[in-house]
Structure formats: C-alpha cells, structure tokens
Amino acid sequence: MNYSLKFAGLALVGLFSAGIAAAADLEVANPWVRGTVPAQKATGAFMQLSSKGGVSLVGVGSPAANIVEIHEMVMDNNVMKMRAVPRLEVEAGKVLELKPGSYHVMLIDLKKPLGKGEIVPITLRVEGKDKKLETVEIKAEVRDLTARTPAPAMEHKH
C-alpha cells in the first residue's frame, strides 16, 4: 500500500472539511450560501479569497442556478445598487472577502430553494499572472437566510 498517497488523500479530506480549498494559486476559506424561502429565485455566496502570487477571478458557475455571476454592491446617488463585474482581482498576499453588501457570487434563477445545511457546489474560474485559466471546485454550506457573516470559529480551550 502506498502510504504517501493515503496520507495525501487524508490531508485533502481535512482541507475540505475545514472549509478551505486551494488550487490555481487561489485559497478559498469559509464558503457559504445564504438560504432562501420557497419562491425566492436568487441568493448570494460568500467566502474569503487569497493568493500568494495574485490571480483574477474571471468566472463562476454552479449546478444550483441557471445564471451565476460575480457581483458588487455600490452606492450610486445614495442608492445601493448591485451589478455584475467581469473579473475580480485577488492581490498577492491579501485577503479579498466576498461578503454581504460588497463583492459576492450571485446565484440567479435557482433550480430549487436552498435550505440550511445543504451543500452547494461552486466552480471558480481563475486566471493566473501567466494568463493560464484554471478552475477551483468548492462546496459551500447553506446557512440560515438571515445570516450576514460567516459562522464564528468554534472556541477551543485546553
């Protein structure tokens, strides 16, 4: 038996269960999706993105919705407006937080309501500094529809 492969597999399982995915020089932490009510057809997905060398998020997709876009919220004449953006820069060594009221992934024309505890697969399309395109697959847990921030980390004391 190849123990190094077995260990690598266990390490990946641990990585994903901790809410972190890494590939294409992109690390994704704490991905989550806001739950919906039965007739609701759109919701947002949120997460923290970081990169050692700097990358661009150039596309998103999910089987949970017919349309998936990168969005930003902006103030325009004292009115908060949401708009799609073609790309998002993840600067080297900095965390870009996709959060309510700011940048986020918009899931539009949902195929079904999303309930707390469900898992939504999301594909992030990333362009590296070398212009090479790669994909990062993540799994985002659906949180209560009133959620505004990621769930707090569990406190651990000895």
Average pLDDT score over the chain:
84
Q: How confident is the model at residue 153 (pLDDT cuts 50, 70, 90)?
A: very low
CA distances to 7, 17, 57, 83 from 145, rounded to whole Å, are: 37, 22, 26, 21
The highest-confidence range among 23-27, 73-77, 110-114, 142-146, by mean pLDDT, is 110-114
Query: Which domains are seen in the chain, by residue range?
Result: 3-143 (2.60.40.1890)
Cα separation, 80 vs 118, whole angstroms: 29
What was the pLDDT predicted at 51?
96
> Per residue, what are the HEC states of 26-46?
EEEEEEEEECCCCCCCEEEEE
pLDDT in tens, 31-83: 999 999 999 999 999 999 999 999 999 999 999 999 999 999 988 889 989 99
Residue 18 has pLDDT above 70, yes or no: no
Cα separation, 98 vs 157, whole angstroms: 30
